[in-house]
């Protein structure tokens, strides 16, 4: 595999976000792939032929440019929100959360992971016309039961420092109005999403405090079970990782409190049984911040058709992750726009 899964998840979910107002009421702009103009036909310019042959004309460069201009115009009017970006994690892993002398505009110069450049920086965020970004607040499963809450708070501190370092580029947002204000100011609205319920160490107090710190969604698990929810790997053939058989009664109370607070429930990374349990109890729309479709690739991180139907009833959304094994079923083929459209 050329890139690690965490790196490809880093760029995931941008192209697939659907327009929805969920809890925070964020308006999400999506550029939908446009079909090529239908081929036109002309007759050869001759007055002597007794039969007429027709020739096809390919779309001109001008037409192609016009489409691109229309895309830019749409993104200039409607904020495109990326549901999951691991920039903070990469800065922790590769730079120990030290922002001093770090060029946030051009991260391509830092070949820190097997020679592969980091895939997010300000230049590319601007070029892609990202209107808003959910920054993933994440640390490894090894922190669970030890210093998980502290490590996640360190990541929130990192993002607060990063946003403060570039106030002309980023603006913190915790409500729909604040997202709109940032967008009108031509800044990237910045929201926080906790990736893994291990962060709260099974306490409602920590959950509420994270909300006060700006967190607006929480992924219930990463690739490890929490004491109250099972992760996706329990669904692998022959797995012995099942611990909770989905969501426990305590886990259901966590969902209720998240609904009350106005914190989105993110089902990326959880087991199918956990998905079904959450969808049976959540009073608010849920999200999958970075998953794809099981029917296209049978990966446990993807969403099966029966769950997709329940997500529709719930008025939730599934945001596509640009991870090769999720969208092409092949580590060696990275995929393209057609694979995620």
Tens of pLDDT, residue by residue over 207-242, are: 999 999 999 999 999 999 999 999 999 999 999 998
Q: What is the mean pLDDT of the chain?
A: 85
What count of Cα atoms within 13 Å lies in the side-chain half-sphere of residue 16? 24
Name the fold adopted by 5-29+59-340: TIM Barrel (3.20.20)
Mean pLDDT of 142-165: 98
> Using 50, 70 and 90 to split pLDDT, how confident is the model at 62?
low
Lowest mean pLDDT across 42-56, 112-126, 321-335: 42-56
What count of Cα atoms within 13 Å lies in the side-chain half-sphere of residue 260? 9
Mean pLDDT of 257-279: 98
User: Quick count: other Cβ atoms within 10 Å of Cβ 64?
Assistant: 13
Q: Supply the pTM of this predicted model.
A: 0.82
Q: Are 305 and 294 in contact (CB under 8 A)?
A: yes
Residue 142 to residues 111, 148, 151, Cα–Cα distance (Å) = 26, 8, 11
Lowest mean pLDDT across 10-24, 194-208, 296-310: 10-24
* Pick from 314, 197, 310: nearest CA to 248: 197
For the four alpha carbons of 20, 28, 195 and 260, in that order, the dihedral sign comes to: negative
User: Which tokens in the block code for residue 73?
Assistant: 């115009």
Residue 272 has pLDDT above 80, yes or no: yes
Q: Which pLDDT does position 170 carry in this prediction?
A: 98
- φ, ψ of residue 238 in degrees (nearest 5): 80, 5
Residue 335 to residues 85, 114, 134, 183, 269, Cα–Cα distance (Å) = 19, 21, 24, 31, 21
User: Quick count: other Cβ atoms within 10 Å of Cβ 241?
Assistant: 15
**CA 97 remoteness from chain centre:** 22
């Amino acid at each position: 595999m050329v890139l690690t899964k965490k790196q490809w998840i880093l760029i995931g979910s941008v192209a697939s976000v659907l327009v929805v107002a969920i809890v925070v009421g964020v308006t999400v702009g999506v550029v939908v792939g446009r079909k090529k103009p239908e081929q036109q036909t002309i007759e050869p310019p001759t007055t002597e032929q007794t039969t007429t042959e027709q020739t096809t004309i390919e779309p001109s460069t001008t037409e192609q440019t016009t489409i691109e201009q229309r895309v830019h115009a749409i993104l200039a009017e409607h904020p495109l929100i990326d549901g999951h970006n691991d920039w903070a994690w990469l800065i922790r892993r590769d730079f120990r959360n030290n922002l001093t002398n770090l060029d946030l505009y051009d991260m391509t110069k830092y070949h820190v992971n097997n020679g592969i450049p980091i895939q997010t920086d300000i230049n590319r965020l601007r070029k892609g016309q990202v209107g808003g970004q959910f920054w993933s607040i994440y640390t490894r499963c090894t922190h669970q039961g030890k210093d998980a809450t502290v490590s996640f708070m360190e990541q929130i501190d990192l993002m607060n420092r990063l946003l403060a370092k570039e106030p002309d580029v980023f603006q913190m947002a915790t409500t729909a109005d604040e997202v709109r204000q940032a967008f009108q100011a031509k800044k990237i609205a910045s929201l926080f999403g906790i990736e893994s319920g291990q962060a709260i160490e099974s306490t409602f107090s920590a959950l509420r405090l994270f909300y006060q710190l700006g967190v607006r969604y929480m992924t219930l698990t990463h690739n490890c079970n929490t004491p109250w929810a099972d992760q996706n790997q329990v669904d692998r053939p022959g797995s012995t990782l099942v611990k909770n058989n989905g969501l426990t009664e305590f886990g259901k109370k966590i969902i209720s409190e998240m609904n009350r607070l106005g914190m989105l429930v993110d089902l990326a990374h959880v087991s199918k049984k956990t998905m079904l349990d959450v969808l049976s109890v959540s009073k608010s729309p849920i999200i999958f911040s970075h998953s794809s479709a099981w029917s296209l690739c049978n990966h446990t991180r993807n969403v099966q058709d029966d769950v997709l139907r329940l997500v529709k009833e719930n008025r939730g959304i599934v945001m596509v992750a640009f991870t090769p094994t999720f969208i092409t079923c092949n580590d060696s083929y990275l995929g393209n726009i057609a694979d995620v459209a």
